[in-house]
Structure formats: C-alpha cells, structure tokens
Structure 1
Amino acid sequence: MKTTIYALSTPPGRSGIAVVRLSGPSARDILAALLTEPYPVPRQASLRSLHTATGDVFDRALVLWFPAPASFTGEDCVELHLHGGAAVIDGAITAIESAGGCLAQAGEFTRRAFENDKLDLTEAEGLADLIEAETEGQRKQALAQMSGSLKQLYEGWREALISVLASIEGEIDFPDEADVPDALAHRAYEPISGLIFSIELHLADGRRGERVRTGFSIALIGAPNAGKSSLLNRLAGRDAAIVTDIPGTTRDIVEVRVTMAGFPVVICDTAGLREAVDAIEAEGVRRALDRAEHADLRIGVADARSQSELLDLKGRLLDDDLLVLNKLDLVSGKTGGAGLGVSAKTGEGIDALERRIEAIVQERLGARELPALSRARHRRAVEAAHSALLRCRTRLADAPELAGEDARLAVRALESLTGRVDVEDILDRVFSQFCIGK
C-alpha cells in the first residue's frame, strides 16, 4: 500500500500564505485528525481550525479536499493554506507526521500523477519547465508542452507506426492467405517515408526547443583590446567583465544571462585571439575558439581603426554571424559599412546592435507551427526512431522480418518519450529535477 506523502509547496521562509499538500490513501484520515469541525465539502475552500495531536490549535486556515480520482495525483489529496509563519508551518508538519504522513521526495506528487495516468512524461516535463520558466518564450513553450503539444505529436507518430507494423506482420504471419496480398509489406513504404519526412522536419529545427529552455548562446570573439569585455558590459547592463587597457585581460570565458525578444540569451566574452604569450593565454584562446565553434551566434568585435582585425574576423565568421566595428568614438569619418558601428565606451550604436540581435533570436527561436523537441532526451529518442525507420524502409522488400523488428524498435523509442515504456532510470532522472512539493 502506498504511503501518504506531504510537502510544503511554497518556498520556505516567512510569507503571507504557506501551502502544505498531502496525497495518498490516508490523506482524508490525516485531515480528520487535524479537525474538530465538520469535514470540508470536496473541492470547496473551507475555513477550519487545525489542531495538533494534543488538541492545541496551531492555525485557522483554508482547507481543500480533493477525493480520488479527481485530483492532480489521481489520489485523495488535501491542501492546507496556512499563515506563512515558521511556527505555523512547523506545527502543521508535526501534526501531519504524528498522524502518519511521510515527507515527499522531489517530484513525487507529479510522479504519482504520471503513474495514475493524469499526465504523460512529456506533460510532466512541461510542468517542470513551467515552474522554472524565467522568460516569456520559456513560459509559452512549457505551457504548450504541459497542455499536450508534444504528446499529440509523439502519439501521432506512434499510431502511424503501429499501422505500418500491422501491414508488415500481416505478410509475415499470413503469407498464403488469399485476402493478404503477397506484397502487403510494400504498402508500408509510403507511410514509412511520410513518417521519416515528418521526423526529419522536427530534427532539422536547429535544436530550437532546447535553446528556448537553456538559452541562446552568443560568443564575442576578436583580437585583444578590441573591446569585447566593454561590449559585454554594455549588453549586460552591468560590469560583468574586467576592462583594462592591458591586452589579454580576459583569459577565461565570462558569461552573462540576459533576456532578449522574450528568450534567455547567454553572452560569452572570450580571450583575445592572437599568438599566445604563455600557457595560460594559450588555453584561453583554445577555449575561445571552442566556444565560438559551438555558439548559436558569433559576434566578431574589431577595432574600427584596424583593417587587419577586420580581415581576420571575416575569415572566422559565418554568413549569418555579426561583425561589430567598435571604438567609433576614436574614428574620424565613416567606417565603410563593413559591419555594425558601435562605441562600447559611449554607447553609440548599442541600441541598433541590440535590435539586430533580438531580431536574430526571434527568427531562430520564435513560435513555429511545429512543436519543438524541448530536451536532449527527446532528440535522442526521435533520432533512434528515425534510424530504425530508415533501416525498416530499406529491408521491406527483401527481409520483412527484419523490417518488422526495426518498426518495433522505432515504436519502443517513441513510447519511451511519453513514458509508455517503463524505463526506471529515465523516470528517476526526470522527476529528480522537480522541486519538493511538486
């Protein structure tokens, strides 16, 4: 028999309201042990006095009672909306434990909801992302996922695959039946090709969903003293990096997180690119080049007075990267239009640069018709299904038995996304990321 769990679902510390939740078969009995007044009506907030085991009143609070299965977890649930003082919370926890409640583990409420078919694994992950969301873009993506956008996508692929598998196994199991054509498996070719195309569209989205969750990465690269650290400070709106006139001041990666166009953006200041004078600087240059290679956007920063820096950066930037010519305050006349002119010292041109970056972020991360794969776990499973389907299509004509096995592998990969396959290590990893009380 399952235990009845409890947890403080609001942040610890003094507050106006503190919410303690209970879920499990004894939730009603535990609440009854705290009450001397009539039991509350289901799903209706009721003001009640709450008592300790010795009969002392520890608070007068709102009480909500959710009988199973019409609750978040699918079990009997109780919520106590207490006054948020530490003594009140301690009194509630002591009384609940005395009545048989057990402290919940991280994500245990949501895991019980998953186990009771109240939501699938992608919806549970969307809920976790919604709790962690810091930007509008993250909120919108998490809310869509929690509402079932990815579930519908993955379940649609799975249902189509099951139909394909039925066609293949029809030929394998009933090869001589009059009502089963000899080339029944060949009928699966077009549906499989359609699935492969749909999956490839989602895999080719530039990891949009993952970037909305973790942040769009921008690397500032350029020669020493080009003004990368000063530009970072301007974009961050604070002194995040040390700025001096000494070349090579920045040795390691300096990161700041900002919000642009409603999305999280991570801007990285890197070591100046030049022939290193010592081992420490050499490692800094190596890290700068590595970060630039893996960044979503590279912003090359050159001294507007230096043609050599400009030429060097043009060889390092891609077509969709940005080139910034810094130190306009030291330039007489125009820069020639080779890049965006700014002065990190005076702020000239910074607004235009920010607008350009925001436009790029919006273009790459903005809402699309297709739901985005939001986690690396999703991408790995979809890639596994894609590989299995490619093998399945190749083997249809000559080895339908092997094609059928590949189709089953693809189904299993998709089922792992929604939690239909009980892979315990996946479940443990997902729910361990939740906060206590959710």
Structure 2
Amino acid sequence: MISDTIVAPATALVKQAVAIIRLSGPDAYQLINKVFSKKVEKKENQITFGYIKDDSKVIDQVLIMSFVAPHSFTGEDVIEINCHGGVLVTTQIISLLIKKGARFANPGEFSQRAFLNNKINLIQAEAINDLVNATNETSLKFAINNLQNSNLHLIKKYRDQLLDIIANIEVNIDYPEYDGVGDVSAEELTEKLVSLKAEITRIIKLSKIGKIINDGINVLILGEPNVGKSSLLNALMQEEKAIVSNEAGTTRDIVEGKINLGPLTLNIIDTAGIRDTVNEIEKIGISKAKNEINRADLVLIVIDSSRELSLDTKKLLTLTADKQRIIVFNKIDLIDPRKLALTKFKTERIALISTVNNNIEALVNQIMESYYFEELTKNDSLVLVNLNQISLLEKVENFIKNAYNNIVNNYPVDIVNVDLHSAWYLLGDLIGENYDDNLLNTMFSKYCLGK
C-alpha cells in the first residue's frame, strides 16, 4: 500500500519558459492547499490560477492542474504545478512542498506507481522510457505502438491458448475414466503448439531487428588502404569527420560517427586499412579494426572498382563471411560498371558508389532494405526492444518447443504440462502479472525524474 506523497520536476531543471512540477499521492490536495493562494477543491480536471506562497512570501505565479484518483496517470490524486521555468523558482517550490510533508520522488517512481495501480502494464511502462530516449522515427513508432497498448491482446491471446491446452491436459490427467471429457489428441496438441511457436518466433525475430534499430545499427567500414573508407564515412556523415589523403594508411585508429538515415540510426565506425605492414602503429590500428568485427551489426566491405581484387580483400571477405554485410564498389566513376566481375558476389548485397561525386544512394538503399521493412511499424505488430523482454519471449519459445518435443517423444502429459505452465507464467511476467519488487525498482530507476 502506497502511503506517501511524492514530488519531482516533470520537466528538466534548466532555464525555460515554463516548468512543470508533479505531486502525486494521498496527500496531494492537502499539500497544495498549504502553499497555494486559493483553495483547490478535490474535483475532476481543474485548472486554477494563483500564487505559490511560503506563509506570506510569494514564490511564483502559477497554474495548478488537478486530477482526482483514479483518473490520473499514476492512478492517485495528482497536482501538476505549471510555474515559470527558472531553476531557482522551480527548486524553491519543490523544497517548500518537501518541507510541508512530500517526499522527493525516485527516478521513474511516477511510472512505477502507475504500474502498481494498474494504469499501465510493463510493456507500456518500458514504452514510456523508450519514447523519451527514441533517436529515430522507427524507434519512436515502436514506443508509440506499445504505449497505446494496442498489442496487449496478442500476449493475452497466447496466454489463453496455452491455458486452453493446459486445461485439456489436466482434465485428461484428473478424469481419465471419462471418455470425451477434455479429450484432445497428440496431433491436435502438436498442431496448436507449432502454430503458437511460429507466432512467438516471428515476434522475437521482429524484436531483435527492432532492438538493433532502437539502439542504432553498428556499421563497420572495412577495406584495404586507399579504397575510400574515410571518404565514405564523410559522405554518410555529410561532414569532414575523417582525414582523407591519397597516402595509404592515413587512418590508423577508429573514427566513429552517428547519423540518422531516414527512419534508422547508424553508429558508423571507420577503421584502418587492412594490409600486411611492418609499421607498429598501423598494426595496432589494423588489430583494432579486426576486433570491431564482432560487435558490428553490419559490415561494409569497401573495394576499389578500378583495381583487381587483392589477397587482403579476399581475406576480409573470408573473415566477415558470417556477418551481415554489403559489398561496396567505390570509384565507380573511374570504370565502365558493366566490366565489373560481379558474378562471384551474386548472393551478396552490392552497392556501386562514387564517394568523390558523393554518389552513395545505392548504398543507402541497400542499408534501408537490410533493416527497414513495413511489418516492423504496422500498428498490429508487437515489437519489443528491451533485452529482458526479448529474453523472456525466447524462454517462452523454448518451453513451447520442449513441450512439443515431449509430446512427439511420447512423454507423459503431466511432464508436457510443466513446460506449458512455465511458458504461460513467463508471458504473465512480460506484461507484469507477476513481478519482483527488486526487479521493478531496478527497471524504473533507469527512468528520468518526473516520469
């Protein structure tokens, strides 16, 4: 039971036109009436103009917005004070409310109370933080979709399907002597489980791509010296981020940049040219470049179209064979593109570009095709971008897979039911039907103040 009343700035503590201070809890009305020049009645959705006062001293001229439980974000009595946006005046009002009996809120505590009061579920709670931290149009769309709660029915549908299977099995266990009661064949069970697993697998696949998009796609630029890697970085960034020179080995360390490419965010990493060298500093740069391969989501192998494919480039192609990649033929302005030997790359994504002419549209299109597709942002698509949420779904998938295998291998149905119960319970964890207080505290502590 929540018994105290909390206060925090809902806007950043910076100089601005208007600041908002949020007060939530059972004593919200009592506290505001201790410091406000007018009586704030406990009525629905009022806006009241007046002054915040410390006894006879006027601190600020404000607008008070009042909400009565349960018709507020937190589900509690809530007062929002719209004051002038100076840092000093904002902190003075907060300090005054604390002096009168409020407690300064922990990060994310307003959202935590909204969850505990059944105003939002855990998917919506995560979406609030995702919305605040969104860096591109797609991650913003993920957050809005999940915040609207339009996809909760999917999780409930999967739980209902599992519950139906569990109930049928338990009837067969408890009343085996009655024919036709809860009777379900192994074939029917496996068919239902295959269908359910396929849906869960689809959401996991979309969510993993969604997480990469939400965090920013780590794009690694690799190639021999002097093939135009740094020029490509500069063309993508639309600024002179890296030094460009005709001298091989100019880039000897990691150069990073971040851009929004339409609905995607790219974390671009330019590296030293890969070649055999005796220069110790260049060797360190090449070693760093190779180490970056592991954390890259997408590798751009840059090749000079005007030169034969070298041994170093062939080694790079082998080194990155298991990575998602695009083969980028640069300096296409120097040759007839029809003479390029592309047959050996017929299973690869290919982009023909010219960084000297800033002609990189083909590469941009390939990146977009690799990561952005319509199903991700459809209103009825559930895309979870939190690692813990995806992990829970993967566990659900594994339990359903185990149940299926146990049925196929003629294990007793009560053993099958153990896995199905676990999958059903984990889906509850996903929306917050079951939760651990410590886990909740950790999760909401990542939010900003006032959320």
- Is TM-score (shorter-chain normalized) higher than 0.5? yes
Matched, 1:336 2:339: yes
Whole-Å Cα distance in 2 between the matches of residues 12 and 178 of structure 1?
Answer: 70
Alignment of 1:6-405 (within 5 A): 6-40=7-41, 41-52=43-54, 54-177=55-178, 180=181, 187-205=188-206, 207-275=208-276, 277=278, 281-282=282-283, 284-292=285-293, 294-309=295-310, 312=314, 321-327=325-331, 331=334, 336-337=339-340, 338=342, 340-344=351-355, 346-363=356-373, 366-368=376-378, 370-396=381-407, 397-405=410-418
User: In 2, are the aligned partners of 1:217 and 1:296 still within 8 Å (CA)?
Assistant: yes
Whole-Å Cα distance in 1 between the matches of residues 388 and 310 of structure 2?
Answer: 41
Whole-Å Cα distance in 1 between the matches of residues 331 and 87 of structure 2?
Answer: 55
User: Percent of pairs identical after alignment?
Assistant: 30
User: In 2, are the aligned partners of 1:122 and 1:150 still within 8 Å (CA)?
Assistant: no
How big is the shift at 1:348? 3.9
How big is the shift at 1:19? 0.2
How big is the shift at 1:248? 3.4
User: In 1, are the aligned partners of 2:62 and 2:81 still within 8 Å (CA)?
Assistant: yes
Whole-Å Cα distance in 1 between the matches of residues 172 and 116 of structure 2?
Answer: 36
Specify whether residues 182 and 155 from structure 1 end up closer, same or farther in structure 2 by C-alpha distance, changes over 3 A only: closer
Whole-Å Cα distance in 1 between the matches of residues 435 and 199 of structure 2?
Answer: 26
Whole-Å Cα distance in 2 between the matches of residues 431 and 142 of structure 1?
Answer: 16
Question: 2:328 is matched by which residue type in structure 1?
Answer: V
Task: Give the secondary-structure state (helix, strand or coil) at the position aligned to 1:306.
Answer: coil
How big is the shift at 1:133? 1.5
| Stretch of structure 1 that moved more, 77-86 or 423-432 | 423-432
Mark the runs of 5 or more structure 2 residues left unpaired by the alignment.
Answer: 343-349
Whole-Å Cα distance in 1 between the matches of residues 75 and 187 of structure 2?
Answer: 44
Specify whether residues 42 and 260 from structure 1 end up closer, same or farther in structure 2 by C-alpha distance, changes over 3 A only: same
Question: 1:81 is matched by which residue type in structure 2?
Answer: N
How big is the shift at 1:141? 1.1
Whole-Å Cα distance in 1 between the matches of residues 29 and 175 of structure 2?
Answer: 55
Task: Give the secondary-structure state (helix, strand or coil) at the position aligned to 1:112.
Answer: helix
Whole-Å Cα distance in 1 between the matches of residues 411 and 354 of structure 2?
Answer: 66
Query: Could you say which residue in structure 2 is the equivalent of 1:415?
Result: 428
How big is the shift at 1:183? 5.5
Query: Could you say which residue in structure 1 is the equivalent of 2:345?
Result: none
How big is the shift at 1:71? 0.6
Whole-Å Cα distance in 2 between the matches of residues 428 and 202 of structure 1?
Answer: 27
Whole-Å Cα distance in 2 between the matches of residues 97 and 74 of structure 1?
Answer: 21
How big is the shift at 1:38? 2.8
Whole-Å Cα distance in 2 between the matches of residues 157 and 165 of structure 1?
Answer: 12
Question: 2:127 is matched by which residue type in structure 1?
Answer: G
Whole-Å Cα distance in 1 between the matches of residues 45 and 142 of structure 2?
Answer: 29
Whole-Å Cα distance in 2 between the matches of residues 213 and 365 of structure 1?
Answer: 15
How big is the shift at 1:205? 3.4
Specify whether residues 164 and 273 from structure 1 end up closer, same or farther in structure 2 by C-alpha distance, changes over 3 A only: same
Task: Give the secondary-structure state (helix, strand or coil) at the position aligned to 2:176.
Answer: coil
Whole-Å Cα distance in 2 between the matches of residues 426 and 208 of structure 1?
Answer: 25
User: In 1, are the aligned partners of 2:168 and 2:183 still within 8 Å (CA)?
Assistant: no
Question: 1:64 is matched by which residue type in structure 2?
Answer: M
How big is the shift at 1:261? 2.5
Specify whether residues 278 and 402 from structure 1 end up closer, same or farther in structure 2 by C-alpha distance, changes over 3 A only: farther
Q: How many residues align?
A: 435
Task: Give the secondary-structure state (helix, strand or coil) at the position aligned to 2:309.
Answer: helix
How big is the shift at 1:370? 3.1
Specify whether residues 125 and 182 from structure 1 end up closer, same or farther in structure 2 by C-alpha distance, changes over 3 A only: closer
Mark the runs of 5 or more structure 1 residues left unpaired by the alignment.
Answer: none
Whole-Å Cα distance in 2 between the matches of residues 437 and 218 of structure 1?
Answer: 35
User: In 2, are the aligned partners of 1:171 and 1:185 still within 8 Å (CA)?
Assistant: no
How big is the shift at 1:11? 1.2
Superposition TM-score, scaled by structure 1 size = 0.90
Whole-Å Cα distance in 2 between the matches of residues 321 and 28 of structure 1?
Answer: 59
Q: Deviations over 1:346-369 (max 9, x none)?
A: 334234433443444434885356
| Stretch of structure 1 that moved more, 402-411 or 37-46 | 37-46
Superposition TM-score, scaled by structure 2 size = 0.87
Q: Deviations over 1:251-298 (max 9, x none)?
A: 443322111122212222123222353666555434434544553432
How big is the shift at 1:196? 1.3
Q: Deviations over 1:105-147 (max 9, x none)?
A: 1100000000010011011111111111122111111100111
| Stretch of structure 1 that moved more, 234-243 or 26-35 | 234-243
Specify whether residues 109 and 320 from structure 1 end up closer, same or farther in structure 2 by C-alpha distance, changes over 3 A only: closer
Specify whether residues 7 and 333 from structure 1 end up closer, same or farther in structure 2 by C-alpha distance, changes over 3 A only: same
How big is the shift at 1:341? 4.3
Task: Give the secondary-structure state (helix, strand or coil) at the position aligned to 1:39.
Answer: coil
Task: Give the secondary-structure state (helix, strand or coil) at the position aligned to 1:21.
Answer: strand
| Stretch of structure 1 that moved more, 181-190 or 67-76 | 181-190
| Stretch of structure 1 that moved more, 363-372 or 87-96 | 363-372
| Stretch of structure 1 that moved more, 302-311 or 71-80 | 302-311
| Stretch of structure 1 that moved more, 74-83 or 251-260 | 251-260
Question: 1:375 is matched by which residue type in structure 2?
Answer: N
Whole-Å Cα distance in 1 between the matches of residues 445 and 23 of structure 2?
Answer: 19
| Stretch of structure 1 that moved more, 3-12 or 148-157 | 148-157
How big is the shift at 1:62? 0.7
Query: Could you say which residue in structure 1 is the equivalent of 2:346?
Result: none
Specify whether residues 406 and 206 from structure 1 end up closer, same or farther in structure 2 by C-alpha distance, changes over 3 A only: closer
User: In 1, are the aligned partners of 2:235 and 2:358 still within 8 Å (CA)?
Assistant: no
